[in-house]
Amino acid sequence: MAATYEPIATTTLGSAASSITFSSIPSTYTDLRVVLTTTATSAFYGKLTFNGDTGANYSETWIDGSGSAAASGRNSSNNWLYISQRQIQTGQPQLITTDIFSYAGSTYKTALETYNQDQNGSGWVGSQVGLWRSTAAITSITYTTSTSTFTAGTTATLYGIKSA
Amino acid sequence: MANTYTLISSNTLSSSAASVTFSSIPATYTDLVLRVSARGDAATQAPNFDIFLNSDTTSKYSATWLQGSGSSVVSSSASNASYGRGSITDGATETSNTFSSSEFYFPNYNSTAAKPYSIITVEETNATAAYMQAYASLYRGTSGISTISLSTASGGYNFVAGSSFYLYGIKNS
């Protein structure tokens, strides 16, 4: 049986870094998924961009909970997608997932992100849908920090999913 | 290429049971995915079940969650708990032949550090309220996960026959 869920690339940071990039992504899959586990050197907002595009071509709608309150919001005409609407924390590791659908197609691209940031006494859980208004196939995915760095030990894996 | 997403074990109940356990989980994968379709015999709506990792009943579990009911949304949390907040089932008072759906994702389950994991769980019933929940969970045990147990014992009910549980392993290379 042909493989339908394949690892394309994986990164484990040996030292702190301000960005993680997957490049030269083949167009032979249908969807992509990134699984990122990380902590912050000091708390920061993480950003996600495609194909190095830092133009105002991103928007997102999100919902999340703090453990005491739920919230929802929107960002439009941004220069990136947030990987979480809340700062990546120091302390306990956090799980961020990104699903990108029909990434090689010729329509605008949608991404579904979840953020799981429980810190044993504080934290966030959230989900958001993002839109990148570009008809280009996605060939690179970059996670960057607004300030600070991803800590050593951060892992990120890019998977390709085939529909047939 | 070797299979990346592999079924490790499955269990479909032929009779009711208070717990389901996956043991001797091989350490050869990177992440684990547990998918559950469950119904309980509790005479309540959406009873929860608990999760235990490595049979650990010490206060190493915590979670932050978000719940929608169809008319409202709330968020809550638990810290230093002796069990992991599991998931929800359709209860005996809900639409018959209806089972909840849940997915647990355990990244880097062999890590010797604290392990975050996610849960998305939904139940449906033809009524004015049904629940879906998203959990950001954390297990602060420092051993790799070799056993996963799901238990209804704290709620005093059982999973019913037909409830199914599938454990998959994912390799990142």
How many A×B Cβ pairs under 8 Å? Answer: 126
pLDDT at A34: 98
Complex ipTM: 0.94
Strand partners, A50: A141
pLDDT tens digit string along B7-16? 999 999 999 9
Shortest CA gap B82–chain A (Å): 12
Which residue pairs, CB below 8 angstroms and at least 24 apart, start in B2-7? Answer: B2/B171, B3/A3, B3/B171, B4/A3, B4/A5, B4/A6, B4/A7, B4/A159, B4/B170, B4/B171, B5/A4, B5/A5, B5/B33, B5/B168, B5/B169, B5/B170, B6/B168, B6/B169, B6/B170, B6/B171, B7/B166, B7/B167, B7/B168
Q: What confidence category does residue A3 fall into, taking pLDDT thresholds of 50, 70 and 90?
A: low
The pairing of beta strand A141-145 with beta strand A46-50: antiparallel
0.90 exceeded by the pTM? yes
Q: How far apart are CA B88 and CA B85, in angstroms?
A: 10
| pLDDT tens digit sequence for A96-129 | 999 999 999 999 999 999 999 999 999 999 999 9
Q: Residue B127's pLDDT is what? A: 83
Q: Once rounded to an integer, what is the mean pLDDT over residues B113-131?
A: 92
User: What type of residue sits at position A51?
Assistant: N
Per-residue pLDDT, averaged over B161-165, amounts to 96
Predicted local confidence at residue B2, as pLDDT = 56
**Do A164 and A56 meet the contact criterion of CB atoms below 8 Å apart?**
no
A58, A64, A100: which is closest to A76 by C-alpha? A58
**Partners of residue B105 in chain A, C-beta under 8 Å:** 35, 95, 97
Q: Which residues contact A122 (CB under 8 A, 6 or more apart)?
A: A66, A67, B64, B77
Assess whether pLDDT exceeds 80 at residue B49. yes
Closest CA–CA distance from residue B61 to any residue of chain A (Å): 8
Q: Please, what sign has the CA dihedral across residues B137, B140, B142, B148?
A: negative
Smallest Cα distance from B171 to chain A, Å: 7
Judged by DSSP in three states, A100 sits in strand
What confidence score (pLDDT) does residue A141 get? 98
- Which pLDDT belongs to residue A98? 98
Query: Using the beta-carbon criterion (under 8 Å), do A3 and B64 form an inter-chain contact?
Result: no
Cβ-Cβ contacts under 8 Å, B120 against chain A: 114
Say whether B116 and A155 touch across the interface (CB within 8 A).
no
Give the model confidence (pLDDT) of A4-39 as tens digits: 899 999 999 999 999 999 999 999 999 999 999 999
Q: Which residues share a beta bridge with B50? A: B85, B151
Strand partners, B40: B159
Average pLDDT over every residue of A129-152: 97
Q: What is the mean pLDDT of chain A?
A: 96
CB contact under 8 A, A95 and B4: no
Is pLDDT above 70 for B99? yes
**What torsion, rounded to 10 degrees, do the Cα atoms A159, A163, B2, B4 define?**
40
Give the one of B108, B138, B170 whose C-beta lies nearest to A92's C-beta: B138
Given an 8 Å threshold on Cβ–Cβ distance, is A67 in contact with B114?
no
Which residue from B74, B113, B170 is facing A70, i.e. has the nearest CB?
B74
Mean pLDDT, chain B, rounded, equals 94
- In this predicted structure, the answer to whether residue B3 has a pLDDT above a threshold of 70 is no
What is the pLDDT, as a whole number, of residue B126? 86
Contact list in A for residue B58 (CB cut-off 8 A) is none
Which residues does B contribute to its contact with A (CB < 8 Å)?
Answer: 1, 3-5, 30-31, 62-66, 73-77, 79-80, 105, 107-108, 113-118, 120, 134-138, 140, 170-173
The candidate with the shortest Cα–Cα distance to A74, out of A59, A64, A88, A94, is A59
User: Would you place residue B1 in the very low, low, confident or very high pLDDT band (cuts 50, 70, 90)?
Assistant: very low
Q: Which residues contact B54 (CB under 8 A, 6 or more apart)?
A: B141, B143, B145, B146, B147
Residues B38-56 have a mean pLDDT of 93
The answer to whether residue A52 scores a pLDDT higher than 60 is yes
pLDDT bracket for residue B155 (50, 70, 90): confident
List of chain A residues whose C-beta atoms are within 8 Å of the C-beta of residue B117: 95, 116
Of B64, B108, B173, the CB nearest to A118: B64
Q: Is the pLDDT confidence value at B66 over 50?
A: yes
Alpha-carbon Rg for chain B, nearest whole angstrom, is: 16
Q: Residue A18: how many CB atoms within 10 A of its CB?
A: 14
Tokens 């990104």 appear where? A98
